[in-house]
Amino acid sequence: MTDDLTEAAPAEARKNPFRWWFAIPLWQRILVALVLGAIVGLVWGEGAVAIKWIGDIFVRLIRMIVAPLVFLIIASGVAQLGDARRLGSIGIKTIGMYVLTTFFAVLVGLTLATIFAPGIGANLANVAPQAVAEPKSPGELFIGIVPLNPINALASGDTLAIIFFAIVVGVAVIMTAEEGEPVARLLKSGSEVMLKIVAFVMEVAPFGVFALIAVVMGANGPATFVNVFKLAMCVLVGALVQTFLVHGGIVRLLAWLPLLPFYRGVADAIMVGFSTSSSSATLPVAIRVAEDNLGIKSSISSTVLPLGATIGMDGTAMYSGILTLFAAQAFGVDLSLADYALIAVTTTIVAMGAAPVPSGSLFVLAAVLAAINIGPTQTAIIVGFILPFDRILDMMRTVPNVTCDLSICTAVARWEKEIDVEEYKSRKDV
């Protein structure tokens, strides 16, 4: 009997020689890849650009599935609710929470920028201005939610328009009752297929993260943090405060759940968000960890998380507040208490319309600076100063965007009794 087992073991190893790799939790594989990528980037320097294509393929794989995934999971999730009034209840709670956390993020950013004063003494004399497109007005943002062509919205990845159309489809399925059941089953099976594709793509994540981090460190190096140390400290401390105090408070005080399973469960999403600097690219991973690691039902994850990837921009709001005070300090603009209040309100509104892509924060900066009479020319100088090393800062501030979405999703699921609490607490290793 022993001999049979001894012979079977090598045979099994030959059959699947990579078992040891897949036995390691994904977040650990990504973390190791991140550290190794940073080391390789520092040693290789600008030559690390040679492996940039690996990271680009990984990002393209994620973005490939975002649009169809958002449509299918939202439409399927809404259809599963069975009652359009419940969708309204979930929507109000979700949007209210996102507005609240965004406002807190702005306050955190303003407080840190006041304490650290990163703009005082900044040398902007030799900065090459970078043009920033005119920000959209609130009216334009709201109009853009309704797509002229849903197919074009899917093709162009217009997330807000996709969300709107998916909700309309899901509500229509509910209202058609029995006749809509075949469509509901189709949407459900389609979303399951897309989530399986997400699982396939995530197996590539360690290699993509390795390449992305190596290129960033090779191109910028650790000197980046020296050149903008105060600004980097504001962003780093702000990201930590928002991620662990604000979002941890939501999970502990509003969802009444222990924190360790939450942060352990969302580690994969945090790693992907950090490496890609994109809330949108992190969405497929966030959905997977919410359902598989946190025990959240798909009816909640499929409605809350896609919305959060678009408007849950805590990191963007915090960073915009920091940059606004940085600009005011650099140009010697005195701000009154009323100006601080205006910045807080304006940033909260504008940040929720920021594109969930790398450096998306810079595209909304003009609207906030205009509120305190800093014109387009001065805004272009600030963007020109920030842009060369914005990617590293963007990586840090994307993390609170990710934890914001997942903490609010956890709280809403708890309130709606759509989370398996025992499964949530039982996750010892994910």
Most confident of 190-204, 292-306, 345-359: 292-306
Distance in angstroms (rounded) separating the CA atoms of residues 268 and 205: 9
Tokens of 363: 């595209």
| Higher pLDDT pick, 111 / 331 | 111
| Higher pLDDT pick, 74 / 138 | 74
Average of pLDDT values for 178-203?
84
pLDDT for residue 226 is more than 70: no
Looking at residue 155, what is its pLDDT? 87
Tokens of 178: 């029995």
Distance in angstroms (rounded) separating the CA atoms of residues 87 and 82: 9
Contacts made by residues 417-421, CB under 8 angstroms, sequence distance 24+: 418/296, 418/297, 418/299, 418/300, 419/294, 419/295, 419/296, 419/297, 419/300, 420/295, 420/297, 421/257, 421/295
Cα torsion through 73, 74, 77, 83, rounded to 10: -160
Looking at residue 378, what is its pLDDT? 78
pLDDT for residue 239 is more than 90: yes
Tens-digit pLDDT profile for residues 69-115:
778 877 887 777 666 666 677 878 888 898 899 899 999 999 999 99
CA 198 to chain centre: 16
Lowest-confidence region among 10-19, 78-87, 120-129, 376-385: 10-19
Average of pLDDT values for 341-359?
71
Phi then psi dihedrals of residue 17, to 5 deg: -70, -10
Looking at residue 16, what is its pLDDT? 61
Q: Count Cβ atoms below 10 Å from residue 156 Cβ, excluding itself.
A: 13
pLDDT for residue 8 is more than 60: no
Question: Cβ neighbours of residue 249 under 8 Å, at least 6 residues apart?
Answer: none
Looking at residue 5, what is its pLDDT? 47
pLDDT for residue 1 is more than 50: no
Q: How far apart are the first and last CA of the chain?
A: 35
Tokens of 241: 């405060």
Instruction: Assign 306 a pLDDT band (cuts: 50, 70, 90).
Output: confident
Domain architecture of the chain: domains with CATH: 24-426 (1.10.3860.10)
Looking at residue 320, what is its pLDDT? 87
State the chain's mean pLDDT as an integer.
80
Tokens of 146: 């309704």
Instruction: Assign 356 a pLDDT band (cuts: 50, 70, 90).
Output: low
Looking at residue 258, what is its pLDDT? 94
Taking the CA atoms of 212, 218, 220 and 222 in sequence, report the sign of the dihedral they define: positive
Tokens of 418: 């759509």
> Which residue intervals of 145-278 are DSSP H helices?
150-156, 159-175, 181-202, 205-220, 223-227, 229-240, 247-249, 259-265, 267-276
pLDDT for residue 316 is more than 90: no
Whether residue 49 contacts residue 219, with contact meaning beta carbons closer than 8 Å, is answered with: yes
| Higher pLDDT pick, 134 / 350 | 350
Average of pLDDT values for 122-150?
68
Distance in angstroms (rounded) separating the CA atoms of residues 175 and 191: 20
Exposed e or buried b for every residue in 9-42, given b needs 16+ CB within 10 A? eeeeeeeeeeeeeeeeebbebbbebbeebbebbe
Distance in angstroms (rounded) separating the CA atoms of residues 398 and 382: 20
pLDDT for residue 243 is more than 90: yes
Average of pLDDT values for 31-37?
85
Looking at residue 362, what is its pLDDT? 64
Identify the three-state secondary structure at position 44. Answer: helix
Whether residue 214 contacts residue 37, with contact meaning beta carbons closer than 8 Å, is answered with: yes
Burial class of residue 208 (count of CB atoms within 10 Å of its CB; 0-12, 13-18, 19+): buried
Residue in the block written with tokens 């980097």: 232
> Which residue intervals of 335-430 are DSSP H helices?
337-351, 365-371, 376-386, 390-415, 421-426
Instruction: Assign 407 a pLDDT band (cuts: 50, 70, 90).
Output: very high
Distance in angstroms (rounded) separating the CA atoms of residues 359 and 298: 30
pLDDT for residue 212 is more than 90: no
Distance in angstroms (rounded) separating the CA atoms of residues 19 and 204: 16
